[in-house]
Structure 1
Amino acid sequence: MSDNQVFWLISAPNRTNEDIFDSVNRKTAKEVSLSENFKFNTPALRVGTLNSLITLNDELAKIDTFVEMTAKRISKQLSDLVGSKPGKEKSLSINGHTIQQYLSQFKWDDAKYNPKSTLQEIVDKIYSTASKLDEDLKTKTSEYGALTTAVHAEEKKLMGNLQVKSLSSIVTPEQFIQTEYLTTAFVVVPTSNEKEFLSTYETFCEYVLMRSAKKIQGDSEYTLYGVCVFKKFYENFKTQCLERKFIVRDYKTETETKTQDTSKLSEDQKNYKTSMIRWCRLHFPEAFMAWIHLKALRVFVESVLRFGIPINFQAILMKPQKREDKRLRDILFNEFKYLGSQHIGKNEEETSERFFPYVFISIDWDV
């Protein structure tokens, strides 16, 4: 079976002398093997007025896009968290069924979307469901992203160069002079500018203690020095260092607000990730089912507008084989051209979805 996850949802009026599904299935699946086909069951919904149908039909395409993107965002977030390809996560199931199984066996959920409600009420409920899921996903993504950023920041403090590495793991209490008048400025100096710094730091401002620069630690890029200055001129010394591209790192002992423990942050991130995976697996089916119910509703509305009442159409779910779209279109055109007019183009390039002689709605799950 192909991994292609693009489906076509079409509908046409029933005929008195031939079953529409049998005819389409024979010509597209049995004779030429261009697609897999399934009857797609749509309920008998409340039609309402013609004007309300036209207004709703214009609204449905926009809502369809939003609900689709919500389902796909949840799917992508899940795949990012578990490390699988988007849309291929093994637990992406709909009530224990694969996506194709759910679509091919689709049955309207009367309990969730009461067919006796108005079409607008059903659409509003679908939109409300998707909106809530979308907001929840944004919140969870933001919180998880903040935790991840915090973990990376802590790791950078431990593993980074001397510009960002935590001084608490480098400087000892004996190296930090702090009296009523004096303090230690910790200066990060590029290794290539070390000689320049040592020959000029005493002139950066008033009251820098002569020959007070002490090397504390070095790496491949930078060297950390401690320089004793009068507190009153500390900020001036810091500014003068910055102008010469030497970075002064602030260091405090007992008064320093300690950074969160990296292992604690990592544990929080891990727990949140597990919770988020669980949330995505739980709510993806809800988003996907809402989307497919909206597709069914679109088929119903467009079929009524196209073919009129009494309602007498058959919806068909088709799963085209890859690169066989044009041949499939030609067969469907010949099958249903009697429904169209001289303005309907035969080739896909000459027309758009709304001008096919049959109702056509795409279900594209290629994420």
Structure 2
Amino acid sequence: MYTFGSVPAEGNKSIVFQNLKAKLSGPQADLAEVYQFLIPEFKIGTLDALVVISDELVKYDQFVESVAWKIIDILRILLNGDIDKICANLFVNDKSVDQYLKTFQWDIMKFRAEKSLQEIAEILNEEVSSIDTLMKSKLAHYNQVKGSLQALEKKQTGNLSVRNLADFVKKEHFVLDSEYLETLLVAVPRNLYKSWNSKYETLTQHVVPRSSQKIAEDDEYGLFTVTLFKRVVTDFSNRCREEKFVYRDFKYNEDEMENQRKEFEEMGATEKELSSALLRLAITNFGEVFAAWIHFKAMKVYVESVLRYGLPPDFMSATIKPKYKMDKKIREILNNQYGKLGGALSRETQKDEAIEEYQNLIDKDYYPYVWFQIQFNVKKIAS
């Protein structure tokens, strides 16, 4: 868990940062890791506009977070739920997530600070929306191919009553190119072998005597051939069902069997290719989406700080990574240090109706300083 926060800079961001760091991570207080959260100066516009963008940033923030977790879910599917492998593939600008958060810098090339906050937010949102649409499309295509492959794999597995029989049959097992005779395949439960051998010749008329032979066997069934006249095939198959023998509708055709083998191999190769491509895309786009998410966090800190502390902007922002179970202690220290703010507005902006309206919208989880938490524990949430 990380926290992005800000406090008044009192004209010297460096000193305020060092003081905060000493209170939370100094020799006497090993409570957290503290890093500077560098945010550029934005075009502010009117206070009314700030209140509006503050509300929009909440929605953008939630949307981008959801897209980041969707991509992680794709990684979970592709990496068979191996959380360690998922974490090993999460990079943002060639850095681990932790390192990116600790060393965050605003991307001034992509998101120029001279643009309005509304413009920057829309650019970020459009970028993430485009990635979300692309990932949905690629995932749908991959799932379609994977579903087709699984359907083919099911035919390659299971017992002899359901699986593809091409791997078990040979040409010499069948009477071929006969005008009158046809060889059938029947899966017989192992406990009914005696019944089959005693009954198959009399299930219908026109069954060739002693034509049955067992050509394969598994733990549940044996696969038997039987040759009979073509005109009684339907009657014979019906009688098999009555006796709990499983008639397999199989025609020996070498071209068709070879086509089935090729289809299975080609589908497997296509699935692997799509899986690799989707994995690369997910890894790349996770970095893009996560970076956008933290840029939204930076904008939220900036807007909230201006609305809290007034104009001109004069605040110090920081990234705080609390040590285990130290959140409450950290907040106690910050409340003691900055409790005098009490959420009060500066005299210059105290009577502004837009800010008063904004203050009324603040929920009950309110601190006298800016405080935004980010929960990103993949091992805990994605498992």
Q: 1:200 to 1:13 in 2, by over 3 A?
A: farther
- Does 2:246 align with 1:247? yes
Q: What SS does the aligned partner of 1:12 have? A: strand
- Does 2:375 align with 1:364? yes
The CA deviation at 1:358 is: 1.8
Structure 2: which 5+ residue stretches go unaligned? 345-361, 379-383
Q: 1:244 to 1:10 in 2, by over 3 A?
A: farther
- CA deviation profile, 1:17-37 (whole Å, cap 9, x unmatched): 884323322211113110111
Q: 1:197 to 1:330 in 2, by over 3 A?
A: farther
Q: Take 2:70 and 2:343, find their aligned partners in 1: how far apart are those partners?
A: 40
- Does 2:83 align with 1:104? no
Q: 1:288 to 1:226 in 2, by over 3 A?
A: same
Contact 1:190 1:222 in 2 (8 A): yes
Q: Take 1:239 and 1:116, find their aligned partners in 2: how far apart are those partners?
A: 80
Counterparts of 1:212-227 in structure 2, within 5 Å, are 212-227=211-226
Counterparts of 1:189-200 in structure 2, within 5 Å, are 189-200=188-199
Q: Report which stretch shifted further, 31-40 or 136-145.
A: 136-145
- CA deviation profile, 1:88-118 (whole Å, cap 9, x unmatched): 30x5333333323322332222221232333
- CA deviation profile, 1:71-95 (whole Å, cap 9, x unmatched): 3443454465395616530x53333
1:26 pairs with one of 15, 18, 22: 22
AA at the equivalent of 2:108: D
The CA deviation at 1:51 is: 4.4
- CA deviation profile, 1:226-252 (whole Å, cap 9, x unmatched): 233554554454455446554322223
Q: Take 1:218 and 1:17, find their aligned partners in 2: how far apart are those partners?
A: 83
Q: 1:338 to 1:222 in 2, by over 3 A?
A: same
Q: What SS does the aligned partner of 2:332 have? A: helix
Query: CA-atom RMSD, angstroms?
Result: 3.4
1:116 pairs with one of 114, 117, 120: 114
Q: What SS does the aligned partner of 1:317 have? A: strand
Counterparts of 1:62-81 in structure 2, within 5 Å, are 62-75=59-72, 77-78=74-75, 80-81=78-79
Q: Report which stretch shifted further, 270-279 or 119-128.
A: 270-279
1:337 is aligned to 339
**Structure 1 stretches (4+) deviating beyond 6 angstroms?**
none
- Does 2:62 align with 1:58? no
Counterparts of 1:240-279 in structure 2, within 5 Å, are 240-242=239-241, 245-252=244-251, 253-254=253-254, 256=256, 258-261=259-262, 263-279=265-281
Q: Report which stretch shifted further, 283-292 or 247-256.
A: 247-256
The CA deviation at 1:360 is: 1.6
1:347 is aligned to none
1:325 is aligned to 327
Q: What SS does the aligned partner of 2:91 have? A: coil
Q: Take 2:206 and 2:193, find their aligned partners in 1: how far apart are those partners?
A: 21
Counterparts of 1:134-153 in structure 2, within 5 Å, are 134-148=132-146
2:354 is aligned to none
- Does 2:40 align with 1:35? no
Q: What SS does the aligned partner of 1:112 have? A: coil
Q: TM-score, normalised by structure 2?
A: 0.77
Q: What SS does the aligned partner of 1:256 have? A: helix
2:171 pairs with one of 164, 170, 173: 173
Q: Take 1:146 and 1:76, find their aligned partners in 2: how far apart are those partners?
A: 17
Structure 1: which 5+ residue stretches go unaligned? 1-5, 343-350
Q: 1:16 to 1:250 in 2, by over 3 A?
A: same
Q: Take 2:268 and 2:374, find their aligned partners in 1: how far apart are those partners?
A: 40
AA at the equivalent of 1:307: Y
AA at the equivalent of 2:260: T
Contact 1:24 1:335 in 2 (8 A): no
Q: Take 2:42 and 2:204, find their aligned partners in 1: how far apart are those partners?
A: 83
